[in-house]
Structure 1
Amino acid sequence: MATTGSYYYGGQQGSGNSSWNSSAMKNLKKISPVVQNHLKRVYLSLSCALASLAVGVYLHLLWNIGGILTAVGTIGAIVWLLSVPPTPYNEGKRVKLLMAAAALKGATLGPLVDVVIEIDPSILVSAFVGTALAFACFSASAILARRREFLFLGGILGSSVSILLWLQLASGLFGGSMAVHTFEIYFGLLVFLGYIIFDTQMIIERADLGDHDYVKHSLDLFTDFVAVFVRLLVILTKNAESRSEKEKRKRRA
């Protein structure tokens, strides 16, 4: 009986997967060739921005340039990019500003990366690979899902970001406990994973309505990627420190 039941449910599950794959492919066909081409440009620009981010981190490791100035520079480059009209004439300038903002962001993250390397360099690789896999999975789910299925997340995610901002403000003014800091990290990770889905579907809908500003859309996804990467990096670093402390206690005992 157990074998029969297992086979029955296994057959049901297989049928469900086949149906899901079929519907997913139909949803993908609903995306016009123009929008598909736009998505290719968005993800290509995102890849270049991530490469610029890595260059910025490397420059900090060489010359220790990351800090408040690069953080302000990142904001300035982003504001400048958003202020430039998305016309064909300005396309090259806006791409350069995106790359500059990414490199400055990398330099700003340099001090954190430096600390992580001193603890365990493999954490950096694990955090990046984990972020890339999560980003790919959540982006794919948004692309293959029904049109506008996840747009309702906008209000929820906006409210969640407000909660994070208030928590950070309260921690800065009154001091925060370790529990609050841990909650901010994990809750923020969930929020920005949600933003990957939401922003991907928003990009598709905007492109379908004629908004083909791939530089701005790449910036949106770049922001999501970095936010997830930083939080995952902090989580893995804390876990490594906890394991190290436990090992030291065992050796002392």
Structure 2
Amino acid sequence: MNRVGSRQEFKWSTLTNFSQLSTATKDHLRNVYTCLTLCMLGAAAGAFLHLKTQFQGGLLSALASIGLMLWLAATAHSKENQTKRVCILTAFGVTSGLGLGPTLDFAIAINPQIIVTAFLMTTLIFISFSLSALFAQRRSYLYLGGILGSGLSVLLFASFMNIFVQSFAVFQFQLYAGAALFCAFVLYDTQLIVEKHINGDNDYIWHSVDLFIDFIAIFRRLIIILGLNEKKNKKNN
């Protein structure tokens, strides 16, 4: 039998064929990713503002981001509040971009190309894991919730302890384990958004926040990992 002749031709259209999802769910996901894109543009604007003005937000940016998240969560999802909530979401993206400032400065001091590489890697990871979650059997990744919660608790505890221990090994563990953890969160959050919509939760603006946090968490860690590796290579050379 001719194996080459029997091989099915790959069609790129299969990457957008989510026949297992209803039309309403597809529309919801389209709105979620539109809001995610808007939030990402806000983060890019915030990062650009930091690079141009060297504004050191630090704790102020973090507090502003938390405040905006709470404001967004407290504002009801309705047609009347849609414009207001989109503005809050964009502002949240801007403050998150400002918060990335010190990490971007770290990368620029070593090699500015690190930022581009980390962004492309994060985008590829995010798209791949999102597609995996959407193509996978319904609810197949939701069991990760307990594991991810425990993993996040371990990372937070390690971060707290490392304030006193100051161990580089623990810091590296936080970086690599954190990157892997938030990759898994992309799988979990994507399927959770689908399930929430099926059960009547149509707040696509808030759902985009979950994915945005996952993206930024992976992006930040990849910048640091790539920066440390390149710094090490330069030192060895």
| Same-fold call, TM cutoff 0.5 | yes
**Equivalent position to 1:97, from 88, 94, 104:** 88
CA contact (8 A) 1:25 1:144 kept: no
CA distance in 2, matches of 1:107, 1:228: 17
Query: 5 Å matches for 1:13-162?
Result: 28-65=18-55, 66-162=57-153
- The answer to whether 1:199 aligns with 2:205 is no
1:165 to partner: Cα distance: 0.7
Structure 2 CA distance, aligned partners of 1:123 and 1:73? 27
Which letter maps to 1:68?
L
Residue of structure 2 in register with 1:178 after alignment: 168
TM-superposed deviation, 1:70: 1.2
Counterparts of 2:109 and 2:166 in 1: how far apart (Å)? 26
- Counterpart residue type for residue 115 of structure 2: L
Deviations 1:169-222 (A, max 9, x none): 1112x2231111101100001100000000000001111112110111000000
> After TM superposition, where is structure 1 displaced by more than 6 Å over at least 4 residues in a row?
none
d(CA) in 2 for partners of 1:51, 1:43: 12
Alpha-carbon separation, structure 2, partners of 1:153 and 1:67? 32
Check the 8 A contact 2:43/2:94 in 1, yes or no: yes
Tell me how far apart the structure 1 counterparts of residues 16 and 80 of structure 2 sit (CA, whole Å).
Answer: 37
Give 1:25 shift: 8.3
Unaligned runs of 5+ in 1: 248-253
Alpha-carbon spacing, 1:32–1:236, altered in 2? closer, same or farther (3 Å) = same
Identical columns (%): 38
Distance 2:72 2:47 in 1: 21
Larger radius of gyration: 1
Q: Distance in 1 between matches of 2:220 and 2:21?
A: 32
Partners of 1:52 and 1:207 in 2: how far apart?
Answer: 25
Partner AA of 1:178 in structure 2: F
1:49 touches 1:102 (CA, 8 Å); kept in 2? yes
1:115: how far off?
Answer: 2.1
> One-letter code of the match for 1:99?
T
Structure 2 gaps of 5+ residues are none
* Candidates 145, 158, 177, aligned match of 1:167: 158
Shift of 1:54: 0.6
Q: CA 1:146–1:11 in 2, change beyond 3 Å: closer, same or farther? A: farther
Cα distance in 2 between the residues matched to 1:238 and 1:34 = 45
Contact (CA 8 Å) 2:106, 2:227: kept in 1 or not?
no
3-state DSSP of counterpart to 1:29? coil
Which residue pairs with 1:227 in the alignment?
Answer: 217
Cα drift, residue 61 of structure 1: 1.1
Q: Report how many aligned residue pairs link the two structures.
A: 234
Whichever structure has more helix as a proportion of its residues is: 1
- Give the Cα–Cα distance (whole angstroms) in 2 for the partners of residues 244 and 169 of structure 1: 31
Aligned mates of 2:58, 2:174 — CA distance in 1: 22
1:251 maps to: none
Tell me which of 165, 173, 177 is aligned to 1:187.
Answer: 177
Given the two structures, how large is their TM-score scaled by the length of structure 2? 0.92
Deviation at 1:118, TM superposition (A): 2.0
